[in-house]
Each structure stands twice: as C-alpha cells, then as structure tokens.
Amino acid sequence: MAIIMGDNQYGKAENRVVRIYRDSARHEIRDLNVTTAMRGPFAPAYLEGDQRNVLPTDTQKNTAFAYAKSVGIDSIENYGLALARHFVTDAEPVEGARVEIEEFAWERVVIDGVEHDHTWTRAGREVRTAAITVDATGEYVIGGFKDLVILKSTGSEFAGFLVDEYTTLPETHDRVMATSLVARWRFGTTDVDWNAVYPQVKAIMVREFATLQSLALQQTLWHMGSAVLEAIPEIVEIRLAAPNKHHFVVDLSPFGLDNPGEVFIAADRPYGLIEAQVLRDDTPPAHDAWRFSAGLA
Amino acid sequence: MAIIMGDNQYGKAENRVVRIYRDSARHEIRDLNVTTAMRGPFAPAYLEGDQRNVLPTDTQKNTAFAYAKSVGIDSIENYGLALARHFVTDAEPVEGARVEIEEFAWERVVIDGVEHDHTWTRAGREVRTAAITVDATGEYVIGGFKDLVILKSTGSEFAGFLVDEYTTLPETHDRVMATSLVARWRFGTTDVDWNAVYPQVKAIMVREFATLQSLALQQTLWHMGSAVLEAIPEIVEIRLAAPNKHHFVVDLSPFGLDNPGEVFIAADRPYGLIEAQVLRDDTPPAHDAWRFSAGLA
Amino acid sequence: MAIIMGDNQYGKAENRVVRIYRDSARHEIRDLNVTTAMRGPFAPAYLEGDQRNVLPTDTQKNTAFAYAKSVGIDSIENYGLALARHFVTDAEPVEGARVEIEEFAWERVVIDGVEHDHTWTRAGREVRTAAITVDATGEYVIGGFKDLVILKSTGSEFAGFLVDEYTTLPETHDRVMATSLVARWRFGTTDVDWNAVYPQVKAIMVREFATLQSLALQQTLWHMGSAVLEAIPEIVEIRLAAPNKHHFVVDLSPFGLDNPGEVFIAADRPYGLIEAQVLRDDTPPAHDAWRFSAGLA
Amino acid sequence: MAIIMGDNQYGKAENRVVRIYRDSARHEIRDLNVTTAMRGPFAPAYLEGDQRNVLPTDTQKNTAFAYAKSVGIDSIENYGLALARHFVTDAEPVEGARVEIEEFAWERVVIDGVEHDHTWTRAGREVRTAAITVDATGEYVIGGFKDLVILKSTGSEFAGFLVDEYTTLPETHDRVMATSLVARWRFGTTDVDWNAVYPQVKAIMVREFATLQSLALQQTLWHMGSAVLEAIPEIVEIRLAAPNKHHFVVDLSPFGLDNPGEVFIAADRPYGLIEAQVLRDDTPPAHDAWRFSAGLA
C-alpha cells in the first residue's frame, strides 16, 4: 500500500479588481472579485517542495490586474477566458486553468432626472458569477448568479406530502415562498453574447418563480431551469441551489387578532435546502468544469 | 465608597417582522428588523432579581408582531412611535421606551414590462433605519440609513495635508472616492411626512456627494449634512459616519502598462473613518435620543 | 438660524498589526486590530476642504505600525497610551486622540507534551479590547472584552415578572442561560499592571456567572459588575451588554419522548439584550472617554 | 432533444441542536449544527409538484431533534449514522440520505482551580465536522474540521519558483506562514472509535505544520495528509483546503527603523488558496460520499 497525491490545484483567491473606463466624460465601472487556480504537474511542489513548475499566486494576482488593463473587462466571461487561455498557453507547465469571478453591480445615480457621469451606488441585488475552465479537453464557461433574494406573498402551496411518525407539519395552500437563489449554467460553446444572455436567463427565472402556482419549491426550480434551457440553445446544463427561507405566520389569536397571512416572522435557521440539476439529454461531458469550485460559495 | 447601578435598559433585539398587505390583488410588503428597549425603575431586577416591574422581552416581541397587525406599518417612524408610546403609557412601571428599526427594501419584479402583483426581489441598496425614544422629556425620532455604498471615479482630491515624520502618502488631485455611508438625522417634531422626507434626504446627500469637487471626505460630509438641514426644516441634527473605502491605483509599470486611474485594487482594511455631526445653532436638546443605540450598528 | 459643525473625529480604522518577538528561539506573538482617531480644530477641513491641520489617516496607519516596533506591544493599553500621547504631543494641531484596539489570542501548540517555540493556533475565545483617550482633560483607559460566549445548563430562573395582555411566556425555574458578553471597564488611573488585571476581571465575571443562582440575566450582570469593582480598586466603572441567547426546550411529546431540559434549539434571532452600567458613587467624570466608540462594535 | 432532471437532493439545513446530559450534577453539553438531505425518486416533485414521496424538511428537522434524545449524541459520526440509516430504512421512498454536522466546542470554566459542573465558555477553536452518506452502495463517513487557524513565525520559505513576465515576487527564506485549514478525511469503515481518532488526526496535522521546514504550503499539506494516512489505517483519503493568509513585512525604513521579520500587516484579500487530495493507492470508491456537500462550506 502506498500513499499518493490525488487531485490538486492552487491559486490566488478574491482579487478585488476594479476597472474604470474613462475614455469619455461618462465613465463606466466594472467591480470584480477574481479567483484563479492552476492545475498540472505540481506533485513535486507537494512531495519535495520543488517550486520549479509553480507560477506563484502573486504572479497570478499581477496577471489578473494587468489583464484588466490590457484585455479589459467587456464581460466577465471573456475576461476570464482570456486569463485562463493565457495561463495554459503561456505558462509552460500549466495544463489547466480555472478562473472564477464575481461581479458586483453598480447603478448610476440620477440627479434631477439625469444620470450622473461618474457616480454610482452599489446595487445590492444578485451577484453575477462566472467559472471558466481551460484545459486539454477544451474550454468550459459556467455563467451564473448568487444571492438573488426573491419572495412571493401568495401562489405557493405545500400539501400531499409523505407523513411518518415525526411529521407534525400541517398542509398549506397559501404561503409565502422566499429564497436566496444560486444558479449556475454551463454553456456548450464559447461563441456567446455573454452580456445579452445574462439578463435573459435572469428574466426567465424570475418570470417562472412569479407566475407558476407552486406546489413545491422543487417544482418551481424545475420550471426555472427547464424554461432557460428551452429558450437559450447555448446553455446545456443548469444547477440550482435554493434555501427555503421560511416565513412563519405568527399566531396573534392570544391577543384577539386574526392573522390571515399578513404578519410573519422571518426565520434565520434552519431552512429548507433544495438542490437540482436540469440538463439536455445530449449535454456534452463536463470534464473538470465543475471541479474544485474554489473561492465562490 | 459604595457601588451603584448606573444607566441601564433591556429589551428584545432583532425581531424580524414581515407584513404583507393583501387587501387587493396587488400586495404590498414591509420587511423590518425591530429592536425594543425599556428604561425605568428596574434596579430591583439587577440588585435582587425582583422581576415585578419587568415586562419580559418575550412580551415586547409579541407586542411588536401584534402592532404590525393592529397598527400596521405605514412608515417605520409611525409604527415605532406607536410601539414606544404603548410601552410608556400602558406598561405602568416603564418610564422610557426605545424602538430601533431597520427596513429592508424590496422591488416589485417586472415581467414583460408589467409590475407583478405579489413577487419582489430584495433590493440590496441601503437599509432605512429609525430610532424612536419616548420618555418623560418628550418624543424623539431619528431617521436614517446605513450601508449606502457610493463611489465616484473622479472629482475627488486629497492634498495640502499636515506632514510629519511618519507621512509617506503622496498628494493626489484625482482619485476614486467611495464610502459605505451611515447617516442618522434627528427630527425636531413628530409632525412629519416620514415617507416623503426619506427619499428627499437621500437624494440631497447623493447629489452633494456626486457634484461637489471634493477636497476631502470631511468636506463632502459637511456638504451632505448642511444641505439636508437647509432643505428640510423638520430636521435639527444629522450625524454621519463614513468609512473611506480605499481604491488603490495598481502599479502596472513592471508589465509595460500605463495606468492613468483605470485599474484599482479595492482594499478591505484598514480604511479611513470620518465621523461628524452637523446641526442647527438652535437645535433643541437631545436628552436620551442617542443613548444606548442598541441592536443596530 | 445657522448650521454649524458639531462633534467630529477622523482616523484610520482596523489596522491589522501583528508583532512577532523573536529575540530568542521561543517567539512571542501579539495580533491586534488598531483604530486611531484625532479630535481637534478640524472644522476647516469640513467647511472649506482645508487640510492644513489634518494628519492623514495614512500617516496614522504608518505610526501604528512604527510604534509596534519602536515602542513594542507589551500590553494593548500601554501601546495605545503611547500612540495617543504621541498624536496629542507631537502632531501640533491635534487636541485629543482616541485609540481603540482589539487583541486576538493565540495559543502555543503542544507537540508530544512540549510547547512549540514558534507555532500557535488561534484561540477563538473572547477578544480583549482597549479604548484609550488622551486630551486636555486627562488620560482615560477603558479595558474590556467582547464575544465571551458563556452558557450554564442550570441555575437560572425567570419568574414573577410583569404580565400584560401581550404576555404569553410561562415562568421557569430551570433554564439554560447563555450570552455573548461585551464588557468594558474604565480605569481611574493609568498606573495599572494591565496584563495582570485582565485575567482577574475575566475570572471574577466568569465565577459570578457560574455560581449565582440567577433570577434574571440582569441580576447576573449586577453581580458580575459589582464583584469586579469590589475586587479591583483601579476600576471605577463597568459597562456590560449581554444578549440573552435563547435556548428553547424542544417539545418532543408528539414523538412519545420526554424532554426534561435535555434537547434545545439554539435560536439566532430575536434575542434579549440587557445593557447596564455599574459604578462607584465617587467615580470621576468620564469626559470624552466613551465618545464616538469608532471601529469596534 | 429533451430536457431532463439530473442529480437532485433536498433537506433541512442548519438545525441548531443542543443536547445537555444532566444525569449527574456534572452536566455535559454537545452543540451541533445539523443538515440533512434526501436522495431518491423525487423527480415527480419537480416535474409535477407531486409530493407523495417527499418527506418534508420539517419532518427531517423533528427527527434530528428527536434523535438527539432517543439515540443521543455520543459522537457526531454515530449520531449522523443513526439519522441517515433511519431515513433510508424507515422512510420508504428515500434511497440515499446525507447528514452533515458541525460541532462547536465548549470548555468547562475553572473556578478557584476546580472545573465547574454546569458552566462552559465557547472554545473558539476549530469546528469539528462530519458528513455521513448512506445509500444502496454502502455507508460513508467523512470526518473533518474547519477554521483551524494556525500560524508559524519562522520555518517557512518560498523560493525557486517559476518566473514569467508578470512575476514581481521576491524569494524569501524566512516568512510567516498562516492558514485557516479545512480538512476532511474519509473512513474506509464505520467500525471506528470516532472520538479517539479526531484528536489524533488533529495532533498529527498540527505537528507536521509546526515541525516541517516548509518550502511551500503545498509541501506542508502533503506532509499533513500523508502523516495522517500513515498513522490511522481506518482513513483512506484526506482532502485539504488551505488559504495562505498572507502576513506582509511592513517597510519601516522611511521611519528609520529596521524590521527583521517583527512587524507584519495581516492582509484580508487576496489570499493564496491551495487544495489537495491525498489518498491510498487502494482507496475504495467514494461513490456519492462527496456529492453535494450541502450546508457546510
């Protein structure tokens, strides 16, 4: 019996790259959190501390900032692809590169009805994400978002479930349904108009969440995922993780008050957690596209 | 020499009260985090464990939820005033009540150009706050917000400062200025259209931040505060706390790249921290309006 | 009516200063989070953007790191006093300085029964704090800690409380009591063996929490505070903030199980919040010792 | 082309289960965060909202609390195995169950040299974890910890690395090395003295971190992992994720001060991130043991 190195990767996590475009008086801003990771013949670094093949994580950081200038940040997918291709192509021992990016949205402030040229407030809505993998098997782009907090105050039921000796939950045909959605969608190609697809995907998922009379959060997730796949041919697979953020109706009857779904307590923990994958039956293999999703929870 | 009880208060912090208005098909939502605290003759509870005067924090919680139904949540200021008046008026030993509220904003989702009746996404922008105090000296309302993250990519300088032996900072006449602003404004009256004033205050502060050619974050804060006092007579005092969220220009010259204010690293810590109070010269006394700001940082 | 500048201060928050002592093979480590703030004639910086009196926050940061070397970090109180005195004495316009420090504890690892010379794990227990103020009225030192999470599984009651129409809480004579204590104690002198006093204060508070048959968290706080004042003459005032971290007995009767105080659900929110001040009847005035407690919640 | 359901699971995340043992005057405490998830024929819940096979997450919560009483919490591994076996055995449609647990450590307080019977402080050190999977292919137990923050002030080098056009990092032969280690180890059997193995694993990893003259964090991880596998035959695989928490030497030369590795700034972001798997060459297949690691980051 021997002990061996298995999968491994290393990189620089959470580079906070901010890019201002100031070519005209009307500036643009892109605000990113960039994580890079290298895969390849790095076993000597582990087994003997031999760094000859190791591109330092500090160098990866420098590259992420330099590329924000030299390549620019048109979309996080293209910027990430450029970075990943560089590491695999130009850093000789590197066999695979993984780039994970979060993008924080900013909204231009409006003053007396006019958008301001160089001032924004952070839009606290969902964080757009990308995870790019480039290796010998190909190029893989996973788009996505996290922290899309969405709530509907009616149009959600939960009934007809399995009952055992530990079941005390009553059925309900009208409840609040809320989640903080994480969605990640894998593209089957890199020939994509990334910035056009993103709002399309989000709009479809929001529409399905809002309009489906939901019998379960599971059903809502399926409708969200399959509707995206139906509408956008470049996407071949979608993964969803949805905490069921419980809003419990407060019993106000001790105080002589009726409460027909009007006053709720929003609970922190525990929460339901539903995870699902929706894909095409001819989805190409993912290889390492989902492996070691590093800096982004 | 004797040891004595000094100031004290007790209450229930962070009640997550969610109120849905469903009187028509178009629902409304108010999403709050409510903290209550009682002041009065509670020394026996400390000295001897005598609870006779102590209205349990659990009762305070019940009251917060019951009032969300019976009084409703038109504005957090009015809801908080109703709660505070109740405790002082109806709970006999209570001499002073403090209610602190955070309100989380939700945005109605738009589907095919139409606002949806009962689905929202959480708008991650600033959190609106209120701190209400009712006691024998009067009624005090402090409005406010926190976490207003705002950035300008030009129009900010820092130069002409004091230099000593530990000073290494170069002067700059064009930098990124960003903060996550906390603002709290005290009203001199309770006869206020709370929901009308709030967006006015925010708009004025955003306008000043954006349009002033800033020589220091201090100067920006003064302009934000004094402009609010000039415009809104009901406000008598404003307090501001502003972290200077540093964005450092990255030196790309080792890579043969120029960087004229285009690529920045956003730093987490340390950060500058500027705190200021702006008020009228005839501002009435605050008494305990600012005392023991409990659950809300 | 005029609009005027009120209280203000500015500084650098959360400098993460780590000091290693390596004079012998057995190294020592001090791990701090340091916040400094200046008070004085800074109105021109606000009103006109005039920085001539402003010692940049970047300079304050440099000074904090330089003093970690030149003065060293024997205790956070002495290091903070040295910094505050420097700013007031050496930076001419500065009239008052405030230094707030958090210290993170590390424990030497033990290998085969022997303490290691240069390796530690972070001890996740309470964070020691200090807040030092130096101005024209004198020198003020506030010691303290935060995040001391302490729990007793019996010896705690809550009964005999005020009952109103919103009260549903049953009385209890045996409950879990838990808190995450914040304590801050003001010294009446700077002639103190700081590192000796700290463990004494903590031991007294822990002893009172554990051994008192508690009729209310309020009563426990009084005993903790007054016992410290009785034992340590240099301390003239103590302030305590204690969230009541509720542990609710779970009703297991639907599953045919008895639960005599054995299985609890630990709740996140809401929580009780008790705040109290205990002091000597001849406590000297605090002046600005408690004003604008900046970066440290 | 059709759209199909892929992998999925659902459950209840972050049940905060606290168990007190009070059979004698000397109480014991176990403080857990429990996440359960079900796998099986749940596609109808997604596709048609048909809940007939769905054991509600609320029922899973009830079961977790009931088992804390009926089975008890001797070790998190045994408690988790009991829960997982129950779901697979007793809830008819469930084919696979996943239970993930975090355990928070408490330390008995010591008063006048004597351990107290029923009072503890939370020991903020690492969080012990377990992830148990039971399905048709067998039973899988993954032990682990997270948040073990460990630092050495010397005995760490980084040199001889690959250099490219973006490399600016100087070599070093004496640096601070610090990480917040996440480790997870898979057992090849369930016939294990869980509570005896845990401190053994931790002690071995701490010993390797401290005593190895490290040429890279990678090398340290390999030594930590392989030493565990050498010592503990029941463990067949270990996975490690280690952020390189950078401590940068502060340049004090502008202030006339030397800084031979004494004063550091601890940086938040970015950080290096090293991930590695170490295993036996005859490690049995993991099947779904690592799939969908739900509530535990």
What confidence tens digit (pLDDT) does each residue in C124-182 have? 789 999 999 999 999 999 999 999 999 999 999 999 999 999 999 999 999 999 999 99
| Fold topology of A9-136 | Urate Oxidase (3.10.270)
Which residues in chain B touch residue D246, judged by CB atoms under 8 angstroms apart?
none
B153 closest CB neighbour out of A20, A65, A152: A20
Report the alpha-carbon distance of residue A72 to residue A66 in Å, rounded. Answer: 9
Report the alpha-carbon distance of residue D244 to residue A37 in Å, rounded. Answer: 13
**How is residue D246 written in tokens?**
């950078």
Q: Which of D83, D73, D69, D75 is nearest to D37 (CA)?
A: D83
Mean pLDDT along residues A208-229: 98
Q: Which pLDDT value is given to residue C296?
A: 38
Confidence grade of residue A231 (pLDDT, cut at 50, 70, 90): very high
Report the alpha-carbon distance of residue A54 to residue A94 in Å, rounded. Answer: 8
Report the alpha-carbon distance of residue A86 to residue A84 in Å, rounded. Answer: 5
Q: Which of C27, B102, D91, D295 is nearest to A274 (CA)?
A: D295
Contact between C134 and C88 under an 8 Å Cβ cutoff? The reply is: yes
Q: Which pLDDT value is given to residue D293?
A: 63
Query: Is C246 an annotated catalytic residue?
Result: yes
Contact between A47 and D222 under an 8 Å Cβ cutoff? The reply is: yes
Q: How many CB atoms lie within 10 A of CB A174?
A: 13
Among D19, D79, D104, D122, pick the best mutation site for testing chain C contact (most C Cβ within 10 A).
D122
CB contact under 8 A, A218 and D6: no
Q: Which of A241, A226, A138 is nearest to A184 (CA)?
A: A241
Distances (CA, A) of D164 to A51, A59, A65, B258, D266: 14, 8, 15, 19, 27
C231 touches chain D (CB under 8 A): no
Q: What is the percent of chain C where pLDDT is above 90?
A: 96
Domain ranges of chain C: 8-136, 144-285
pLDDT in tens, C163-173: 999 999 999 99
Q: Which pLDDT value is given to residue B125?
A: 85
Task: Return the exposure string of C31-47: e unless at least 16 CB atoms fall within 10 Å of the residue's CB, then b.
Answer: bbbbbbbbbbebbbbbe
Distances (CA, A) of C132 to A60, C6, C96: 42, 22, 10
Q: Which pLDDT value is given to residue B296?
A: 38
Is 60 exceeded by the pLDDT of residue A181?
yes
Q: Which pLDDT value is given to residue A125?
A: 85
The stretches in chain D having pLDDT less than 70 are 292-297
Distance from CA of D25 to the nearest CA of A (A): 31
CB contact under 8 A, D165 and B255: yes
Statement: A143-285 belongs to CATH 3.10.270.10: yes
Report the alpha-carbon distance of residue B57 to residue B37 in Å, rounded. Answer: 8
Q: Which pLDDT value is given to residue B280?
A: 97
**Cβ within 8 Å of residue C191, ≥6 positions away:** C234
The three-point CA angle B121-A109-B184 to 5° equals 80
> Do C8-136 and C144-285 fold alike per CATH?
yes
Report the alpha-carbon distance of residue C292 to residue C11 in Å, rounded. Answer: 12
**How is residue C207 written in tokens?**
């002893």
A53 touches chain D (CB under 8 A): yes
Give the homologous superfamily in CATH for domain C144-285. Urate Oxidase; (3.10.270.10)
Q: How many CB atoms lie within 10 A of CB C191?
A: 7
pLDDT in tens, B55-65: 999 999 999 99
**How is residue C53 written in tokens?**
């009196």
Select which of A27, A57, A283, A287 is catalytic: A57
Q: Whole-model pTM?
A: 0.96
Confidence grade of residue A296 (pLDDT, cut at 50, 70, 90): very low
Secondary structure (3-state) at B169: coil
Average pLDDT, whole number, for chain A? 96
**Cβ within 8 Å of residue B41, ≥6 positions away:** B53, B93, B95
Length of chain C: 297
Distances (CA, A) of D205 to A106, A199, D148: 44, 47, 10
D159 touches chain A (CB under 8 A): yes
Confidence grade of residue C297 (pLDDT, cut at 50, 70, 90): very low
Residue of B nearest to A31 (CA): B266
Confidence grade of residue A297 (pLDDT, cut at 50, 70, 90): very low
Contact between A255 and C166 under an 8 Å Cβ cutoff? The reply is: yes
**Matching residue, tokens 């906390």:** B182
CB contact under 8 A, A121 and B149: yes
Distances (CA, A) of A105 to A149, B247, B250, D149: 15, 17, 21, 33
Q: Which of D95, D100, D97 is nearest to D136 (CA)?
A: D95
Which residue intervals of chain A are DSSP H helices?
43-47, 57-70, 76-90, 194-211, 217-231
**Matching residue, tokens 């040229």:** A117
Q: Which pLDDT value is given to residue D297?
A: 35
Provide the 8-state DSSP code for C172.
Answer: B
E strand map for chain B? 3-21, 28-39, 96-104, 106-111, 114-122, 127-135, 138-152, 177-187, 235-244, 247-249, 263-266, 271-280
Contact between B60 and C272 under an 8 Å Cβ cutoff? The reply is: no
Which residues in chain C touch residue A169, judged by CB atoms under 8 angstroms apart?
none
Fill in the amino acid letter for D136: A
Distance from CA of A244 to the nearest CA of D (A): 9
Q: Which pLDDT value is given to residue A124?
A: 74
Please give the full DSSP string across C75-103, using - where no structure is assigned: -HHHHHHHHHHHHHHHSTT--EEEEEEEE
**Cβ within 8 Å of residue D228, ≥6 positions away:** D185, D201, D204, D205, D235, D238
Q: Which pLDDT value is given to residue B293?
A: 62
Q: Which long-range contacts (CB under 8 A, 24 or more apart) does D116-119 make?
A: D116/C210, D116/C211, D117/D25, D117/D26, D117/D27, D118/C152, D118/C153, D118/C154, D118/C155, D118/C210, D118/D22, D118/D25, D118/D26, D118/D27, D119/C150, D119/C151, D119/C152, D119/C153, D119/C206, D119/C209, D119/C210
Confidence grade of residue B81 (pLDDT, cut at 50, 70, 90): very high
Q: Which pLDDT value is given to residue B292?
A: 67
A167 touches chain B (CB under 8 A): no
| Fold topology of C8-136 | Urate Oxidase (3.10.270)
**Cβ within 8 Å of residue D84, ≥6 positions away:** D36, D97, D98, D99, D132, D133, D134, D139
Q: How many CB atoms lie within 10 A of CB D253?
A: 9
Residue A105: alpha-carbon gap to chain centroid: 14
Confidence grade of residue B13 (pLDDT, cut at 50, 70, 90): very high
Contact between D33 and D53 under an 8 Å Cβ cutoff? The reply is: no
C11 touches chain B (CB under 8 A): yes
Distance from CA of C163 to the nearest CA of A (A): 13
A166 touches chain C (CB under 8 A): yes
**Matching residue, tokens 């948040």:** D147
Query: Is D220 an annotated catalytic residue?
Result: no
Report the alpha-carbon distance of residue A181 to residue A217 in Å, rounded. Answer: 11
Q: Which pLDDT value is given to residue B124?
A: 74
Report the alpha-carbon distance of residue A191 to residue D273 in Å, rounded. Answer: 31
Report the alpha-carbon distance of residue A79 to residue B92 in Å, rounded. Answer: 65
Provide Rg for chain C, Cα atoms.
23
Is 60 exceeded by the pLDDT of residue A233?
yes
Distances (CA, A) of B169 to B161, B242, C40, C59: 10, 20, 21, 7
Length of chain A: 297
Chosen CATH of B143-290 out of 3.40.50.300, 2.30.110.10, 3.30.420.40, 3.10.270.10: 3.10.270.10
Fill in the amino acid letter for B105: A
pLDDT in tens, A78-91: 999 999 999 999 99
Residues C82, D267, C105, B244, CA torsion sign: positive
Is 80 exceeded by the pLDDT of residue A295?
no
Higher local confidence (pLDDT), C106 or A1: C106
Which residue intervals of chain D are DSSP H helices?
43-47, 57-70, 76-90, 194-211, 217-231
Report the alpha-carbon distance of residue D194 to residue D141 in Å, rounded. Answer: 10
Report the alpha-carbon distance of residue B138 to residue C121 in Å, rounded. Answer: 53
Mean pLDDT along residues C76-105: 97
Select which of B27, B57, B190, B287 is catalytic: B57
Confidence grade of residue B290 (pLDDT, cut at 50, 70, 90): confident
Query: Is D173 an annotated catalytic residue?
Result: no
